Chains A and B, each alone.
Chain A
Amino acid sequence: MSASRHTRSASLNGWAFIAPAMVLLGVFMAFPILWSLWMSFQTGKGMNFKFGGMANIVRLTKDPVFLHALTNTLTFLVVQVPIMLTLALLFAVALNDAKLRGRAFLRTAIFLPCVTSLVAYSILFKSMFAGDGVVNDALLAMHIISTPIPWLTEPFWAKIVIIMAITWRWTGYNMIFYLAALQNIDRSIYEAARIDGVPAWARFVHLTVPMLKPVILFTTVTSTIGTLQLFDEVNNITASGGNGGQPSDATLTLSLYIYNLTFKFMPNFGYASTVSYVIVVLVAVLSALQFWVARERRK
């Protein structure tokens, strides 16, 4: 077999292995993304489109519901992602200690929320945080509060419930990534630091965090994307199956607004596509920012 024939067959094999995936991604991903970009410049309701130029973008800036959804989504992002990732990292470091007893049990327990469907756990949270529900009962019994908290009816508390719910569902998931990365770190580095008298918190800040930086970046980017797409939880906990983010739109997110624009009201595909590209731009800008913050600084 000549060298050139060999490389040609390798090349053919290379294309054959990836072909099914490439065709599917082209038809069901790349094509819809481009179509959506084209539609974001169209105006009109239902199936009557006409080219609107910047009309949709101008409409965004004057649309109070959109601005509300944007603010809510960014609030969830800025508050929830740092809390969740910090917890996940601390749990991972604690569980990575070989001397800790009951490690397997604790790890499984904290990971367990990940097996629930977003709908199932949303329903559980909705019932636990009901006005006379079990959470208020417990807090009253422990004398932490003196009157029940209106979790699902007050805008502020509704946001808190959503944040707690997402944190419950995803902390263990992110913890597994940190645990996996921690197991690859050479233990002798820690031993050396410990013998040199470096305290535990300094080992965490100056050894663990820098060595986990690639994984922290990965989880930050994926969590950002996840939070920007928030839909199932708000639709099932506070919007009671799609009534538009009650109480008074306190938990309306961008994805829920796109859903409402497309499938609840008189469909406006063009404007819905414009709102969806706001998410794309946010993901792109925030990911770039996160990569920039985490870049290797040359001295």
Chain B
Amino acid sequence: MNPITLLSRGLVYLALGIAAFVSVFPFYWMVVGATNTSNDINIGKATFGSSLSQNVTNFFAQVDVPLVFYNSAKLAILGTVFTLIVSSLAGYGFEIFRSRTRERIFAVLLLLLSIPFAAMMVPLFMLMARLGLMNTYAAIILPSVASIFIIFYFRQSTKAFPAELRDAARIDGLKEWQIFFYIYVPVMRSTYAAATIIIFMANWNAYLWPLLVIQTEEKKTITLVISSLASAYTPDFGVVMVGTVLATLPTILVFFFLQRRFVEGMLGSVK
């Protein structure tokens, strides 16, 4: 290897190394913070301390942890399941049963995709109030179940679903909904895994809309709770860090369990 190649190799490793360090450091900071006092965090102490049990005790004293986690899990799981069903059905429908009218509808959907949430936030809030759904999880989940992004993603991925499989199933006399649930869903599990990661994270981490809809303490999710803990007049950062660790763990676990499927699914959708 000549010196210039060696040098540029070194620079690439250096740049990627710095990027990886910067990417991972806040996670380290979060875990270390959970073991330190609020004062130590404020003065930038980046080594492990001995306040973990105190922080955990304080966190459990201030927050009804099982309830908050139950709320978050309920919201994220229901949201993910309904979004997967409704949006994958639509993506499959648009790709398999094409018609001119449906192509036009699909084009309109792609236009709607670029309309920001802020533009519907106020009327959506008033609509939920009139439907009597304020302070319910239905009000949080319903607007996101038909996700244009996920519909689009499933339509793109359906292009890779072998037509022979469908034809064989039709000859065997399966109905269209049976083909979908018994053949398409199992065959496309990579696509479902990738979509699960995206939707689960979006639901678990949702902030602005739940902040508007949820009005009582006993319905708050972990995301809302750590936000209000951190915005207190004098936040106890040690306690807040315990909260962020607990709030981040489920999404990290989902990511690592489904990671390989996730990359496969993403690659499949781009092809």
Contact B118 A254 (CB under 8 A): yes
Contact A18 B16 (CB under 8 A): no
Tell me which residues across on chain A come within 8 A of B22, comparing CB atoms. Answer: 168
- A52-60, A77-85, A116-124, A186-194: which lies at the interface: A116-124
> Which single residue of chain A is at the shortest CB-CB distance from B232?
A241
Bound CA span A17–B92, Å: 7
Bound CA span A171–B23, Å: 10
Bound CA span A240–B123, Å: 26
A236 within 8 A of B: yes
- Which 3 A-B pairs give the minimum distances between C-beta atoms? A241-B231, A17-B93, A14-B97
Determine which of B127, B148, B205 lies in contact with A117 in the assembled complex, contact meaning CB atoms within 8 Å. B205
B68 within 8 A of A: no
How many A-B pairs have beta carbons closer than 8 Å: the answer is 268
A51 within 8 A of B: no
- B84-142, CB < 8 A from A: 86-87, 89-90, 92-94, 96-99, 102, 105, 109, 112, 114-127, 142
Contact A18 B94 (CB under 8 A): yes
Tell me which residues across on chain A come within 8 A of B41, comparing CB atoms. Answer: 127, 130
Cβ distance A278 to chain B, nearest Cβ, rounded Å? 9
> Which single residue of chain B is at the shortest CB-CB distance from A254?
B118
Bound CA span A41–B127, Å: 18
A294 within 8 A of B: no
Knowing A180-B270, A280-B116 touch, does A134 contact B146 (C-beta < 8 A)? Answer: no
Contact A119 B205 (CB under 8 A): yes
Cβ distance A262 to chain B, nearest Cβ, rounded Å? 5
Bound CA span A133–B131, Å: 47
Tell me which residues across on chain A come within 8 A of B99, comparing CB atoms. Answer: 11, 14
Bound CA span A180–B264, Å: 9
A20 within 8 A of B: yes
Knowing A120-B226, A232-B207 touch, does A283 contact B114 (C-beta < 8 A)? Answer: yes
Contact A25 B146 (CB under 8 A): yes
**B196-228 near A? 1/0 per residue, CB < 8 Å:** 000001001101100010000000000100111
Tell me which residues across on chain A come within 8 A of B16, comparing CB atoms. Answer: 91, 94-95, 100, 106, 110
B237 within 8 A of A: yes
A289 within 8 A of B: no
Knowing A112-B23, A123-B230, A277-B119 touch, does A133 contact B259 (C-beta < 8 A)? Answer: no
Tell me which residues across on chain B come within 8 A of A269, comparing CB atoms. Answer: 122, 126
Contact A132 B90 (CB under 8 A): no
Tell me which residues across on chain B come within 8 A of A97, comparing CB atoms. Answer: 12
Contact A276 B44 (CB under 8 A): no
Cβ distance A23 to chain B, nearest Cβ, rounded Å? 8
Tell me which residues across on chain B come within 8 A of A272, comparing CB atoms. Answer: 122
Contact A115 B124 (CB under 8 A): no
Determine which of B114, B119, B122, B204 lies in contact with A221 in the assembled complex, contact meaning CB atoms within 8 Å. B114
Tell me which residues across on chain B come within 8 A of A200, comparing CB atoms. Answer: 8
> Which single residue of chain A is at the shortest CB-CB distance from B229?
A123
B255 within 8 A of A: yes
Bound CA span A32–B122, Å: 8
- B3-21, CB < 8 A from A: 8, 12, 15-16, 19-20
Contact B116 A276 (CB under 8 A): yes
